Structure 1
């Protein structure tokens, strides 16, 4: 099996959460700062070092207020979350082949839990790495490497699948196969391609092919 360990980003990769992230960023900025944020700036930061860093970019003096406003707006919206089409079926196929799967995200574990409550199939992951699990976050390799450490796996055995430039950089820095997905709705293909992923895919069938079939080397 070419990649017996497959790690996934959460937002924009497994779950279609881009719209609620953007809505909550807009709400926080309007509520706290009285102005709409620069949407391109917001989009470009999604998937990176985390919410606090994003809010620091909006206003470094009002980070706590912005974070509180964001979370108050965002958490109830998890009741509307859906997985991207075909993703859960692909996870079942990979799991049935004996591959070990994981989530590596910049979200807090509590917030990951809200997504799992909405989409219980995500609870079947072998490992979940959230914001609390490493001091450094994507694009640093630490979260990906922590997932591998817990799975007792080597980078050469693994792939990391994500929808943002930060995911690709983290994967490459960790020495795992870097697979970008183009269905996230936040980062355009050209931005992803600038990071030189090992593959850019737009369907779950293409993703399966990029991961390699069981028994291949």
Structure 2
């Protein structure tokens, strides 16, 4: 298969950020009396933060989420691309492959974080969670992206680190590749078309 477009999740696919997200959400929830193990937050990274907080029964979750945004912003200096991601994005650009991101972040979160990651900020395609009624694992974000940017679904690949990414791609009937460098050990990516271990594995698919 020759792909014209490659779409990426952001957290723990392009940027090594899932641990910081989980830690910050857990800290905010614990401050209002909801004590859930860090591992449970980490397993849910890939879904919007408000959904995670609601699932754990966090009272006044919007206030907690607002606090999360402030605390996360203070610690963005801890974030970094995974090794090989910058080279991958530059090589895809040189090869004329269209790239983009489909993320569970809203636009405010996306803009705040990608100030530190200009290659992501400059992506040709950006779909944030506030552009569709339902986030991943719904197919809506991917199908919205295909329709809005007039993509060829059969020649578009989505790459992510979580089961929510895989489920969204499957629901959208889009090819999916698991980002093994960022995924938690033991996740069953049985519905993935490709299992990638390094970012430069992507180049073998085009």
TM-score class, shorter-chain normalisation, is over 0.9
* Cα deviation 1:44-100 (Å, max 9, x = unaligned): 21102x111100022253322321232221122223321111101111111111111
Distance in 2 between residues matched to 1:39 and 1:20, nearest whole Å: 11
- Residue in structure 1 matched with residue 182 of structure 2 by the alignment: 184
Deviations 1:22-63 (Å, cap 9, x if unpaired)? 220221122122x53222321221102x11110002225332
Corresponding residue number in structure 2 for 1:135: 133
How far apart in 2 are the matches of 1:150 and 1:88? 26
Q: Which of 78, 81, 90 is 1:80 aligned to? A: 78
**What are structure 1's unaligned runs of at least 5 residues?**
none
Give the secondary structure class of the aligned counterpart of 2:187: helix
Q: TM-score, normalized by length of structure 1?
A: 0.88
CA distance in 1 between partners of 2:198 and 2:58 (Å): 39
Moved runs in structure 1, 4+ residues, more than 6 A? none
Partner of 1:7: 7
**Are the aligned partners of 2:32 and 2:58 in contact in 1 as well (CA < 8 Å)?**
no
Equivalent-residue separation in structure 1 for 2:25 and 2:122 (angstroms): 30
- Give the distance between the partners of 1:28 and 1:3, measured in 2 at CA: 41
Three-state SS of the structure 2 residue aligned to 1:36 is coil
Query: Which of 89, 95, 98 in structure 2 is aligned with 1:97?
Result: 95
Of 184, 192, 195 in structure 2, the residue corresponding to residue 197 of structure 1 is 192
Contact 1:28–1:69 (CA under 8 A) maintained in structure 2: yes
User: What TM-score does the superposition give when structure 2 sets the normalisation length?
Assistant: 0.93
Query: Could you tell me how far apart the structure 2 residues matched to 1:3 and 1:200 are?
Result: 16
SS of the counterpart of 1:10?
coil
Separation in 2 of the partners of 1:71 and 1:32?
16
How large is the RMSD of aligned CA atoms in angstroms? 1.6
* Contact 1:180–1:192 (8 Å) recurs in 2: no
8 Å Cα contact 1:105/1:130 also seen in 2 = yes
Which one is further off, 4-13 or 77-86?
Answer: 77-86
| Between structures 1 and 2, the one with greater helix share | 1
Aligned length: 206
Contact kept? 1:31, 1:69, Cα under 8 Å:
no
Alignment of 1:58-77 (within 5 A): 58-77=56-75
